[in-house]
């Protein structure tokens, strides 16, 4: 079954602004990961948060996880034109199950 | 930095033909995957492969699909008799597996167009 539903589906912001996108999932997870995909290209891993973690930072990225609500958010601070891409959350269901279930993604456009 | 590579980048084939998509995972990784993304849709899991056998497959991965690790470096996805609905971007991924976090490294993808 599919997990990971992002909202909004699309986001347009001005360079320098923050971008926030959310992801909800349905079943328990071992970890949740965020990936970026530039148009027509492959997926690039951004950040991973374990089920026992609540917040994680990596550079301009901040991820939160609320397992009670089965939701996560990705914040990109001080956005740049190069951040224009689609962002996907992906859930890893358990320790020994390695397949990822992806959401539909949020398309972010950063205007110069 | 090591990366997953895929060939070809774009494959055009006629309906009913067989195609083989090729991937070279990162050398010390133990788990290999194929995913597909139909244009405008989610990335969908197809199959995972470990220790020279399929460890898990999705409902999409029916009898027309097969995977193989023919040598120590390549990992292939074969579609026996392609259908129009097989047109998609196919991504190969790999990860360390046991002891790892589950972070997967994706290749750039092969765009398959079935006409």
Residue at B49 is within a domain: yes
Res A97: pLDDT: 80
Domain range summary for chain A, segments of one domain joined by +: 5-111
Is the separation of the CB atoms in B67 and B82 below 8 Å?
no
Cα A95 to Cα A87: distance, rounded to the nearest angstrom: 24
Using CB atoms and an 8 Å cut-off, which of residues 1-30 of chain A contact chain B? 2, 30
Residue at B47 is within a domain: yes
On whether any CB of chain B is under 8 Å from the CB of A71, the answer is: no
Judge: A48–B101 Cβ closer than 8 Å, yes or no.
Answer: yes
Res B98: pLDDT: 66
Chain B CB contacts of A50 under 8 Å are 101
Cα B77 to Cα B85: distance, rounded to the nearest angstrom: 16
Cα A89 to Cα A44: distance, rounded to the nearest angstrom: 11
Residue at B2 is within a domain: no
> Is the pLDDT confidence value at A40 over 90?
no
For residue B40, give every residue at least 6 positions away whose Cβ sits within 8 Å of its Cβ, in sequence order, or none.
none
Q: Pick the residue of A30, A38, A39, A42 with the most B CBs within 10 A to test the interface with B by mutation.
A: A42
Number of structural domains found in chain B: 1
Judge: A35–B42 Cβ closer than 8 Å, yes or no.
Answer: no
Nearest to B104 among A2, A100, A103 (CB): A100
- Domain A5-111 listed as CATH 1.10.645.10: no
**pLDDT, chain B, mean:** 93
Residue at B74 is within a domain: yes
pLDDT tens digits, one per residue of A2-14: 356 778 889 999 9
pLDDT tens digits, one per residue of B50-88: 999 999 999 999 999 999 998 888 999 999 999 999 999
Question: Residue B67's domain is classified under what CATH number?
Answer: 2.60.40.10
Chain B CB contacts of A33 under 8 Å are 102-104
Judge: A99–B45 Cβ closer than 8 Å, yes or no.
Answer: yes
pLDDT tens digits, one per residue of A61-101: 999 999 999 999 999 999 999 999 999 999 998 877 878 99
Chain A CB contacts of B5 under 8 Å are none
Cα A2 to Cα B108: distance, rounded to the nearest angstrom: 23
Residue at B35 is within a domain: yes
> Taking the alpha carbons of B100, A43, B34, B93 in that order, is the dihedral positive or negative?
negative
| CA B31 centroid distance within chain | 12
The residue range of the domain holding B85 is 17-95
């Amino acid at each position: 079954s599919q997990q990971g539903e992002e909202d909004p589906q699309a986001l347009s912001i001005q360079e320098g602004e923050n971008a926030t996108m959310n992801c909800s999932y349905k079943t328990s997870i071992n970890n949740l990961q965020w990936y970026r995909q530039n148009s027509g290209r492959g997926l690039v891993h951004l950040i991973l948060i374990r089920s026992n973690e609540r917040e994680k930072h990596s550079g301009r990225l901040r991820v939160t996880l609320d397992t009670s609500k089965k939701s996560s958010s990705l914040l990109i601070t001080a956005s740049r034109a190069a951040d224009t891409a689609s962002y996907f959350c992906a859930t890893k269901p358990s320790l020994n199950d390695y397949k990822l279930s992806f959401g539909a993604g949020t398309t972010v456009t950063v205007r110069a | 930095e090591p990366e997953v590579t895929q060939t070809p980048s774009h494959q055009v084939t006629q309906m009913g033909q067989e195609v083989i998509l090729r991937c070279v995972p990162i050398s010390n990784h133990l788990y290999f995957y194929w995913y597909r993304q139909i244009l405008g849709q989610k990335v969908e899991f197809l199959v995972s492969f470990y220790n020279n056998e399929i460890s898990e497959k999705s409902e999409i991965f029916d009898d027309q699909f097969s995977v193989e690790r023919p040598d120590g470096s390549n990992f292939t996805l074969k579609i026996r008799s392609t259908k129009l609905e097989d047109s998609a971007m196919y991504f190969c991924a790999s990860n360390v597996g046991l002891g790892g976090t589950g972070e997967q490294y994706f290749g750039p993808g092969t765009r398959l167009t079935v006409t």
